[in-house]
């Protein structure tokens, strides 16, 4: 792990024991090396999987098509046993 992040084994050991906190640049390289998000690594949270969706490709869809897309994603998530429903807060849907 230390080699992949380009730090010494001592530095990585200090992170693991809590003796030293990780620097932002090292955190970025660690996330890339492990292929996980910082939220997952730091807090155990899964990243919302749609960060790879091209906004330009869906921003022009009509409201009914956005609703259908959202509904389909919710069905698949439910079939996988995932609860992706919002927990309060504002609705940040794409505007049609």
What is the full per-residue pLDDT of the chain (96 aa) written as tens digits? 888 889 999 998 888 888 888 899 999 888 888 887 787 777 776 555 566 667 677 778 888 887 788 778 878 878 888 777 765 444 444 443
* Residue 21 sits in the same domain as residue 55: no
* Residue 36 sits in the same domain as residue 61: no
> Quick check: helix, strand or coil at residue 92?
coil
- Report residue 75 as tokens: 């069905």
Cβ burial, residue 30 (10 Å; 0-12/13-18/19+)? buried
Distance CA 22, CA 7 (A): 11
pTM score, whole prediction: 0.47
* Residue 94 sits in the same domain as residue 70: yes
Range of the domain at 75: 48-96
Work out how many domains the chain is built from and give that number: 2
* Residue 52 sits in the same domain as residue 35: no
């Amino acid at each position: 792990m230390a080699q992949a992040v380009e730090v010494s084994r001592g530095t990585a050991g200090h992170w693991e024991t809590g003796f030293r906190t990780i620097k932002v640049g090292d955190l970025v390289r660690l996330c890339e090396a492990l292929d996980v998000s910082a939220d997952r690594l730091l807090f155990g949270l899964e990243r919302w999987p749609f960060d790879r969706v091209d906004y330009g490709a869906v921003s022009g869809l009509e409201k009914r098509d956005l609703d259908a897309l959202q509904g389909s994603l919710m069905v698949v998530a439910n079939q996988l046993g995932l609860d992706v429903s919002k927990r309060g807060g504002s609705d940040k849907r794409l505007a049609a």
